[in-house]
Structure 1
Amino acid sequence: MIEVSVVLPIYNGEKTLCSTLDSLLAQTYKNFEVIACIDGSQDNSELILREYGAQFKKITILKNELNRGLGPTMNRLVHEAKGKYIAIAEQDDYYYPERLQLQVDVLNTNPSIGLVSGIAEFYNGRKVVGKFPGLLVRGEKYPQGVEMFLLNYRNHLKVVNSCIMFRKCLHIDKGLYFTQHYPSISIDWTYILRFSLVSNIHGLPQVLVRLDRRPDRDSVTSNKTKQFKATRELLRAFAYEFPQYIKQEDFDYAMRTQYLLELGRKSSTSYLFKWFQYYLKCPTDRRYINNITSRIRSKFLK
């Protein structure tokens, strides 16, 4: 009986898909199926999947004739999954060999944990340039319940979404789903926020995935204007939906977190104008001072 279903949404993934599939074949844990869904793309992704098919214990290839987006595609993948655990993979990431085994061990031995993730490396095409989330990198643990919800709301997503594994029964019993209301860049964030209110989330202190962050990669997250707009809408919507947890100060803090992220995309003149504008609204938030100090230091070092 298959224990884990690895779900793999694909959209124009032919350039990086082989590396992802190779990393799944190299997993030390073998009792898993792969369920891939090609979301309306017309490249060679299906051919690549069929060439790899015989090497996996079981592989299922689904197709959306039209591009439906990541949310509906993920919901279809989870529906088709036969395993009791669902592991998410992405078409342009590399998974370290122990990834699945480490996560299965956690879920098998800790029934109170509904979802497990780990640490991600950021790879720029030449070297690893960072690790995320800092909380796990520092050896700390995720809080639980409302505290976890607020951590991921106030500071934005602190769970590596491309390598999560969760219990399918919990997903079904709690009525969870991947939304299509937001652009694809926000669906994992909304899922983690809701999940944190129905079950415990565990973070492994190990690197499980290497994320492809080469400058020339084609990704929805490259559209920063769309990403920023979606984030602001998400923060407002959750504040309306969960007023019992999200107070005004939480919403304000979360929005300032977003403003700081947006500042990083500004040119020098535009940056200074926006920085002063945001700083004057809340001069007590030390993150603004840290931000401009870091900006000046980086410019000076260049």
Structure 2
Amino acid sequence: MNISAVIPLYNAEKYIKETLDSLMAQTFPLDEILVVDDCGKDNSAKVVEQYSAQHPIVRLIRQPKNQGGSAARNKGLKEARNNWVLMMDSDDTIHPDLLKLQIKKLKEYTRVNPGVVAIHPAYIQMDADGNIIEKSEYRGQQLPYEETFGSLLVRNYIITPSGLLLNRNAALKIGGYKTNFFVSEDAEFILRLSREGTFVYLDEPYVYFRRHPMSITSDLKKASQAGKAILDVYLIDEVRDAVFRRNYPKEKNVLDFITLLFQFNEFDKGFELLSEMESDEEYEVSKLFLMSLYYLETNLYNEAKSHIVRLLELNDTHGAALNNIGVLFALNGDKEKAKEYFNRALILYPGYMDATNNLKELRNSHPTYRYTKRELRKNLLRYS
């Protein structure tokens, strides 16, 4: 079985050799490595040319002009000579056994399910110098085909193209990556692909996802818009049907759908559903959090605060609630109390972007505080 790899290249002179080394070190050898140069301003392409002279399976493909990462990935997918393609970003690396284990998983699944379209692993984050960041693993889960689309709408756990093994025919069938979609284009592609067939999950953090100033700046620009931009592609009824198709208790599906309604800015519809829910101890914390968001959005700060206080009595480690009540104290002039809550959130969730921002804003004469509008993942992307 032959596998291609595709890497879009743009201003990655510092990291591309390390990325290529990790591909060359695979215990299941790659058949070809296609690096698509997107006309950056550094010496990335020259580094790849020199590398290719020593390793002929590496081929540099030059775009005629800068067209963005999506166009570069599409170019690589079209040029690849094999039907399974390993996607990579030019600043990430992978474990030597990643591809071997993915192929093993693929063979196991295709014996009973020929409709596999992608295999993705767990991830771990590293800093700009390649040092692993403590407690930064991202893990997903194996889902049946009919539940994947709805689950990814609620929470995307495929956080980077790196390490994603794609069925080339399926990727091209859906038109590849959208070149006119500029916010979370990777997630948008994954959502479309999830409707074509089964995603197989490898529960090993074998992709090393690098956080460095250039990638962080890009992610920060996208972060606040990403959810709504993707959801705007789909009708609310389509989203609801997908969420309720998941094999979870009704209460969880309702709460997850309300979270998405809030991302659609459909706060009144979400509040109506919340008001209709019966009390359930297992989901009370999530319900209180969503109620507090509604009151924050409608500027009913006393009601928001009372719901967050009740929530923290049930769970005093709820990072988003700690941040949000800190904002309320800050707005009320109690900066010391606000600082206490922001710091508590950061101790529990190192690198928490909203809490980090809010601590800095406490020192400003005209502060801009950030509420957190959804419950936090166990481990966060590191933006600092």
Deviations along 1:106-126, one digit per CA (max 9) or x if unpaired, are 223322322111111111244
* 2:94 matched residue in structure 1: 95
Deviations along 1:67-87, one digit per CA (max 9) or x if unpaired, are 101111111110000012110
Cα 1:223/1:110, change in 2 over 3 Å: closer
Deviations along 1:142-175, one digit per CA (max 9) or x if unpaired, are 2122321111111234455311002223334x43
Whether the aligned pair in 1 keeps the contact of 2:13 and 2:44 (CA below 8 Å) is yes
When the two chains are superposed, the root-mean-square deviation of aligned CA atoms in Å is 3.5
Deviations along 1:48-104, one digit per CA (max 9) or x if unpaired, are 111111443522211123210111111111000001211001111111101111112
SS in 2 for 1:28: coil
Q: Tell me, in whole angstroms, the C-alpha distance in 1 between the residues paired with 2:106 and 2:11.
A: 33
1:222 to 218, 221, 241: 218
Deviations along 1:16-55, one digit per CA (max 9) or x if unpaired, are 1111111112111114200111112132111111111144
* 2:275 matched residue in structure 1: none
2:233 to 212, 233, 237: 237
Matched, 1:297 2:344: yes
Q: Which moved more, 1:148-157 or 1:32-41?
A: 148-157
* 2:138 matched residue in structure 1: 133
In structure 1, give the amino acid aligned to 2:204: Q
Q: Tell me, in whole angstroms, the C-alpha distance in 2 between the residues paired with 1:298 and 1:250.
A: 23
In structure 2, give the amino acid aligned to 1:169: N
Q: Which moved more, 1:44-53 or 1:101-110?
A: 101-110
* 1:198 matched residue in structure 2: 196
In structure 1, give the amino acid aligned to 2:125: F
Q: Tell me, in whole angstroms, the C-alpha distance in 2 between the residues paired with 1:255 and 1:107.
A: 36
- Residue 249 of structure 1, CA deviation: 6.6
SS in 2 for 1:34: strand
Q: Tell me, in whole angstroms, the C-alpha distance in 2 between the residues paired with 1:189 and 1:64.
A: 24
Cα 1:6/1:241, change in 2 over 3 Å: farther
In structure 1, give the amino acid aligned to 2:84: Y
Alignment of structure 1 residues 5-24 onto 2, 5 Å? 5-24=4-23
TM-score (norm. length: structure 2):
0.63
Deviations along 1:169-227, one digit per CA (max 9) or x if unpaired, are 3334x4341112321x512111211121111111111121111114xx21275352344
- Residue 276 of structure 1, CA deviation: 6.2
Tell me: higher relative CO, structure 1 or 2? Use CA pairs within 8 A at least 6 residues apart.
Answer: 1
Q: Which moved more, 1:27-36 or 1:290-299?
A: 290-299
Q: Which moved more, 1:100-109 or 1:75-84?
A: 100-109
Q: Tell me, in whole angstroms, the C-alpha distance in 2 between the residues paired with 1:256 and 1:226.
A: 18
Cα 1:246/1:36, change in 2 over 3 Å: same
* 2:171 matched residue in structure 1: 171
TM-score (norm. length: structure 1):
0.79
Alignment of structure 1 residues 24-39 onto 2, 5 Å? 24-39=23-38
Whether the aligned pair in 1 keeps the contact of 2:91 and 2:210 (CA below 8 Å) is yes
Q: Tell me, in whole angstroms, the C-alpha distance in 1 between the residues paired with 2:55 and 2:101.
A: 20
SS in 2 for 1:77: helix
Q: Tell me, in whole angstroms, the C-alpha distance in 2 between the residues paired with 1:250 and 1:16.
A: 38
Q: Tell me, in whole angstroms, the C-alpha distance in 2 between the residues paired with 1:293 and 1:187.
A: 31
Bigger strand fraction: 1
Whether the aligned pair in 2 keeps the contact of 1:155 and 1:257 (CA below 8 Å) is no
In structure 2, give the amino acid aligned to 1:40: C
Q: Which moved more, 1:246-255 or 1:158-167?
A: 246-255
Q: Tell me, in whole angstroms, the C-alpha distance in 2 between the residues paired with 1:179 and 1:99.
A: 27
Extract unaligned runs of 5+ from structure 1: 136-140, 260-272
Cα 1:300/1:115, change in 2 over 3 Å: closer
Whether the aligned pair in 2 keeps the contact of 1:5 and 1:33 (CA below 8 Å) is yes
Q: Tell me, in whole angstroms, the C-alpha distance in 1 between the residues paired with 2:136 and 2:346.
A: 22
Q: Tell me, in whole angstroms, the C-alpha distance in 1 between the residues paired with 2:221 and 2:169.
A: 36
Alignment of structure 1 residues 1-302 onto 2, 5 Å? 3-111=2-110, 112=113, 113-124=116-127, 125=129, 126-135=131-140, 141-158=141-158, 160-172=160-172, 174-183=173-182, 185-214=183-212, 217-219=213-215, 222-239=218-235, 242=238, 244-245=241-242, 252-254=258-260, 277-278=296-297, 290=318, 291-293=320-322, 295-298=342-345
